[in-house]
């Protein structure tokens, strides 16, 4: 069963590791869906030695038919990671502004790319500051990394696979958006409201609060309440594959490293007007 030791790191522990002869590579991935750019926050202050990596333009591909945050081109991703100093086999720690969503998508992307030694700073930048740890404004010039991107390190769903998972009585596809969006009562971002027929709604606050996760036992119980039990395949989606990456991280913490991410998520699903849409409180199979 997966533990937390290779997934999360607390601020005090990270402060110790930074002082070692071979510290982890730090990636600042602060991001907001509607802006302003996270790079502005980075300029005001960041963890010493951290390099800013942009979620929209470096960790994801350009928006389009595959969704608002599709998979990145492997060559472009490798270039961005090498620029940030990521080296083959060298530990990486990612952090964001505290909600854990962008950091989880960065965590997921690096692991999908075949780079396993990556952890998320639990509580993000606010946890670091709250611990009274130093903040820097210097922009480092890291030695270029040599990481090789090898896609396939984590399971991915496309639209057809997501539909099959949602339709199967022996599997669970989680929609982790807010309940009104799932029910089709409102849709502030994408052109169509509703959910994938057969998907079950588990809004993010059920498994993460303020960017911090409960214990593995609590997570297992909360996922089990909606049908995620041993032996049942599970996947997750949200609006564009960012919040759902955090759900996949929570599932890893709960002992489900097989959890799949529908990267295109709702924004990719509704890009094809022929795909069915369900509304209301039930899965709508």
Tokens linked to 59: 């960790």
On average, the pLDDT of the chain sits at 96
**Sorting pLDDT into bands at 50, 70 and 90, what band is 5?**
low
Give the per-residue pLDDT at 50: 98
- Domains defined for the chain, CATH in brackets: 8-130 (3.40.250.10), 156-269 (3.40.250.10)
127 class by beta-carbon count within 10 Å (0-12 exposed, 13-18 middle, 19+ buried) = buried
Tokens 């955090």: give the residue: 246
CA angle, residues 153, 167, 202, in degrees to nearest 5 = 70
Marked catalytic residue, from 92, 178, 193, 238: 238
Short-list 94, 150, 107, CA closest to 244? 107
**Sorting pLDDT into bands at 50, 70 and 90, what band is 282?**
confident
Sheet holding 234-237, edge to edge: 156-157, 260-262, 234-237, 172-175, 200-201
Mean pLDDT calculated for residue range 174-201: 97
- Confirm if 53 and 28 have CB atoms less than 8 A apart: yes
Answer yes or no: 60 catalytic. Answer: no
pLDDT in tens, 209-248: 999 999 999 999 999 999 999 999 999 999 999 999 999 9
Short-list 40, 165, 197, 16, CA closest to 93? 16
């Amino acid at each position: 069963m997966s533990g937390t030791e290779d997934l999360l790191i607390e601020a005090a522990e990270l402060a110790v590791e930074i002082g070692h002869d071979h510290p982890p590579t730090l990636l600042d991935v602060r991001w907001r869906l509607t802006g302003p750019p996270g790079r502005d926050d980075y300029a005001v202050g960041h963890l010493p030695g951290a390099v800013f990596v942009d979620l929209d333009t470096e960790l994801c591909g350009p928006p389009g038919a595959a969704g608002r945050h599709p998979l990145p081109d492997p060559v472009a991703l490798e270039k961005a990671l090498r620029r940030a100093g990521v080296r083959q086999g060298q530990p990486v720690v990612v952090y964001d502004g505290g909600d854990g969503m962008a950091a989880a998508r960065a965590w997921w992307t690096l692991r999908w790319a075949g780079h396993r030694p990556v952890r998320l700073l639990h509580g993000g930048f606010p946890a670091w500051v709250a611990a009274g740890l130093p903040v820097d404004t210097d922009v480092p010039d890291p030695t270029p990394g040599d990481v090789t991107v090898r896609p396939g390190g984590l399971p991915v769903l496309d639209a057809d696979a997501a539909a099959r998972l949602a339709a199967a009585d022996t599997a669970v596809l989680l929609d982790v958006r807010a309940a009104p969006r799932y029910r089709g009562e409102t849709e502030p971002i994408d052109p169509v409201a509703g959910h994938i027929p057969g998907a079950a709604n588990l809004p993010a606050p059920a498994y993460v609060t303020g960017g911090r996760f409960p214990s593995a036992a609590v997570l297992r119980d909360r996922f089990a309440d909606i049908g995620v039990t041993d032996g049942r395949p599970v996947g997750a989606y949200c609006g564009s594959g960012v919040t759902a990456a955090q759900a996949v991280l929570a599932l890893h913490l709960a002992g489900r490293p097989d959890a799949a991410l529908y990267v295109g998520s709702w924004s990719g699903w509704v890009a094809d007007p022929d795909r069915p849409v369900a509304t209301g409180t039930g899965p709508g199979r």
